[in-house]
Amino acid sequence: MAPASNWFTRYLAVRRPVEVGFWVVVLAMQAAFNSVVTWMDLDRVAARQPQLWEPVLWETTSALVIGALIPAIVWFERRFPVRWDTLRRALPLHLLASFAFCALHVGGMWWLRRAGYALMGERYDFGPWSVQLAYEYLKDVRSYTMILAAILSYRFLMLRLTGEARVLDAPEPPPGAEAEPQPEARPTRFLVRKLRREFLVAASDIAWVQAQGNYVGLHVNGHDYLLRATLTEFLQQLDPERFVRVHRSHAVNLDHVAEIEPLDSGDARLHLRDGAIVPCSRRYRDVMGQRL
């Protein structure tokens, strides 16, 4: 198994702040550019020359509300993923979500703009709501699509860098032979694709598993690989004498548990042999103790 590159390992340690920072920078740049363009356009055609703070307020409030809605888009895409096998069902749902996105965006920025104008001693005139909503939706449906495309592109890149695992296909019967029904065997190895390379991961080497949206993360010898399944579905394929659920979003391989640290709340922390610490909730603690 090839060791993970140092830069990618360092990136994973600060992944969440970088992701948030990316959207902050993008939205801040968009607000700045749009403020200048809007002010220049209105300066030429508007009956009343706007004050500079007005387009700045318009674009800043719009960017703030969009930024607040991005986590909702991420959640919704995880709930209704956009993939080839789900496209027919997912596209109509995301089209409906774009209307909700527009309604929340317009309502949020209208409220913030009214507050901003009130602080400046002015009155904010949004204009006819029916016309403005139609105008804003034409922009918001593009914004929703671009945000969704950015989320999917980033996820695809992370899958290529992290490595995507899948269960090995069952061997096909020889030509001419009739396939006899066999009891479903538990997988002992998983095939991992990573950066145009393929290798096998033994199920016994999986130290712990974590639910990550529509995927589960397999933590193996310091490496993380994603497999498309829910945690419940994945655990049904593994040996129940070895793998046990210890949290709503975590499961561990009992062979890799080094220490159980009880907490005053009744929960516990599981210290694994690879140095990882996995939470164990009260709901699953007794079951795990019986298995051990």
Residue 64 and residue 105 in contact, taking contact as beta carbons nearer than 8 Å: no
Q: What is the pLDDT of residues 101-123, one digit of tens each?
A: 999 999 999 999 999 999 999 99
Given a cut of 90, is residue 21 above it in pLDDT?
yes
Identify residue 26 by its one-letter amino acid code: V
Whole-angstrom distance, CA of residue 115 vs CA of residue 96: 29
- Between 219 and 8, the more confident residue is 219
- DSSP string over 46-91: -SSPPPTHHHHHHHHHHHHHHHHHHHHHHHHHHHS---GGGHHHHH
How many of the other CB atoms lie within 10 Å of CB of 225? 22
Model confidence band, residue 1 (pLDDT cutoffs 50, 70, 90): very low
Q: What does pTM read for this prediction? A: 0.68
Model confidence band, residue 98 (pLDDT cutoffs 50, 70, 90): very high
- Quick one: pLDDT at residue 92? 94
Whole-angstrom distance, CA of residue 186 vs CA of residue 56: 60
- Quick one: pLDDT at residue 4? 46
In the chain, % of residues over pLDDT 70: 85
- Quick one: pLDDT at residue 149? 95
Structure tokens at 36: 């200048």
Q: What is the pLDDT of residues 165-203, one digit of tens each?
A: 776 544 445 555 555 554 456 777 888 777 667 778 888
- DSSP string over 16-51: HHHHHHHHHHHHHHHHHHHHHHHHHHHHHH-SSPPP
Q: Domains in the chain, start-ordered, CATH in brackets?
A: 6-162 (no CATH), 189-291 (2.40.50.1020)
- Quick one: pLDDT at residue 176? 54
> Which of 67-76, 169-178, 220-229 has the highest mean predicted lDDT (pLDDT)?
67-76
- Quick one: pLDDT at residue 63? 96
- Quick one: pLDDT at residue 44? 65
Structure tokens at 149: 């495309």
